[in-house]
Homo-oligomer: A and B are copies of this chain.
Amino acid sequence: MVEVTETLSIGQVAERTGLSVHTLRFYEQEGIFVSPVRRGSTGRRLYSQDDVDWLTVCVILRASGMPLPALRRYTELVREGAGNEEERLALMREHHGRVTEQIGRLTQSLDLITFKVGVYEDLLDEARPAVAPGRQDQWAGDGAA
- Interface residues, chain A, with chain B CB atoms under 8 Å away: 34, 50, 53-54, 56-57, 60-61, 63-65, 78, 81-83, 85-86, 88-89, 92-93, 95-96, 99-100, 102-103, 105-110, 112-114, 116-117, 120-121, 123-124, 127, 133-134, 136, 140-145
Contact = CB atoms under 8 A, between A and B. Distances in A.
Q: DSSP majority for the A interface?
A: helix
A120 B85 CA distance: 6
A36 to B, nearest CB: 15
Nearest to A96: B113
Specify how many copies of this chain sit in the oligomer: 2
Q: Which 3 A-B pairs have the closest CB atoms?
A: A64-B109, A89-B120, A53-B144
A138 to B, nearest CB: 8
A53 B121 CA distance: 22
A114 B140 CA distance: 40
Contacts of A92: 113, 116-117, 120
